[in-house]
Amino acid sequence: ETAGRLQSFTGPCLLSDGTRIPLRANVGDGAQARAAAAAGAEGVGLLRTEFCFLDRDTEPTVEEQAEAYGQVFAAFDDHKVVVRTLDAGADKPLPFLTDAAEPNPALGVRGFRTSRRAQGVLERQLEAIALAASKHPVTVHVMAPMIATAEEARQFTELVHAAGLPTAGVMVEVPSAALQAAAILDEVEFASIGTNDLTQYVMASDRMLGGLAELSDSWQPAVLQLIGMTAAQGAVAEKSVGVCGEAAADPALAVVLVGLGVTSLSMAPRALPAVAEVLSGVSLERAQQIARSALAARSPSEAKAAVRAELPILDELG
Ligand code: PEP
Ligand code: MG
């Protein structure tokens, strides 16, 4: 019976006490967006716009970009789509934007930082997003990657508003942003925690190196602690703090994230059914207890064992 239930997800996702936790999808283009909609995603929590730029030697025009974003918006009429502005650099190099000679690309000019070097690219992307948004009945939110300071968050919000888009947010994926979450949330409407990069930067452990998997694990207590701090500031500011890194796709970790105060999750569409199934079996209070036991662990394996012991349904799901 579990296997049958797990083949599909039809939202909304509710905890056992009725608390609503929107489950959205991470997508990269129109085809993935259509697949995500078919899988029941309650919108897009992370549109990786790099797809429109990859394999190109020059910047796509505003019209080309608007056409590509429009294909994603068309799949999610009447839903929310969170568009992440260009995250070029490090693991996503772009010939016309990134400097291949940087000694430490992960610590270099990547994400929002490229807008300092390449004047106008971000402005034109926002123009394209606004143009595509004007043609579809979707709620478009825009967020910037690799924000490290409240000042950068303020600059981004100004650019978003100047483009006629109402809702600006940031990714929290640099430790300084998690530590400064209160100041940053003052400048934006929402935050979305990118656990892939947050883990890389908190643990100083390259996300591309399989040999460091034990360190590059979002179950690391230090990572969970920063997620909890960020979500707590979101609660104080009454602003939503989601997670859009791979951590959201792990059903056990999803319970911990919700218990830490995360208000929405965005993941690869195939993960939606299992995450929804496990979340629907816990109340917010129970998730908070489970999060406390994960936070008290000394290692990822200890945290996973503690959470598994509290969620027998995970054994059923395999
Ligand atoms: C992240 O860093 O967690 C994230 C969602 O973004 P990306 O994997 O595209 O860097
Ligand atoms: Mg990232």
Q: Measured from the CA of 246, which atom of ligand 1 is nearest?
A: 3
Q: Which residue has the tokens 């939110």?
A: 141
Whether the complex's predicted ipTM is more than 0.90 is answered with yes
Which distant-in-sequence residues (6+ apart) come within 8 Å of 138 by Cβ? 73, 76, 77, 78, 79, 80, 81
> 91: CA distance to ligand 1 center in Å?
10
- Ligand nearest, relative to CA of residue 48: 1
- Return the residue whose CA atom lies nearest to atom 1 of ligand 1: 194
What pairing do the DSSP bridges indicate for beta strands 240-243 and 44-48?
unpaired
In this prediction, residue 55 carries a pLDDT of 79
48 CA distance to ligand 1 middle (Å): 9
Which residues are near ligand 1 (CB < 6 Å)? 46, 48, 87, 173, 194-197, 244-245
Residue bearing the CA closest to ligand 1, atom 8: 196
Pocket test for ligand 1, best of 82, 112, 173 (most atoms within 8 A of CB): 173
The residue whose C-alpha atom lies closest to atom 4 belonging to ligand 1 is 194
What pLDDT is recorded for position 115?
Answer: 93
Using the atom order of ligand 1, give the atom closest to the CA of residue 196. 3
pLDDT computed for residue 21 by the predictor: 98
Q: pLDDT tens per residue, the chain (318 residues)?
A: 455 556 689 989 999 999 999 999 999 999 999 999 999 999 999 999 998 888 788 999 999 999 999 999 999 998 999 999 999 988 888 888 888 889 999 999 999 999 988 889 999 999 999 999 999 999 999 999 999 999 999 999 999 999 999 999 999 999 999 999 999 999 999 999 999 999 999 999 999 999 999 999 999 999 999 999 999 999 999 999 999 999 999 999 999 999 999 999 999 999 999 999 999 999 999 999 999 999 999 999 999 999 999 999 998 887
E strand residue ranges, 150-210: 168-172, 190-193
3-state secondary structure of 48: strand
* pLDDT score for 1: 45
Residue 194 CA to ligand 2 center (angstroms) comes to 5
User: Which of 113, 244, 266 should be mutated for ligand 1, with most atoms under 8 A from CB?
Assistant: 244
Task: State the amino acid at position 51 in one-letter form.
Answer: F
Alpha-carbon torsion angle 158, 162, 166, 168, nearest 10? -30
pLDDT of residue 3: 52
Query: 256 exposed, middle or buried (CB, 10 Å; 0-12, 13-18, 19+)?
Result: buried
- Kind of pairing between the strands at 240-243 and 139-144: unpaired
Q: Ligand 1 pocket check: which of 29, 32, 197, 223 to mutate, most ligand atoms within 8 Å of Cβ?
A: 197
- Please tell me the predicted confidence (pLDDT) of residue 5: 55
pLDDT at 240: 98
Mark 35-65 as b/e (b = at least 16 C-beta within 10 Å): ebbebbbbbbbbbbbbbbbeeeeebbebeeb
Name which residue sits closest to atom 3 of ligand 1, judged by CA: 194
Q: What pLDDT, on a 0 to 100 scale, did the predictor assign at position 8? A: 81
**Rounded Cα distance, 253 and 267, in Å:** 12
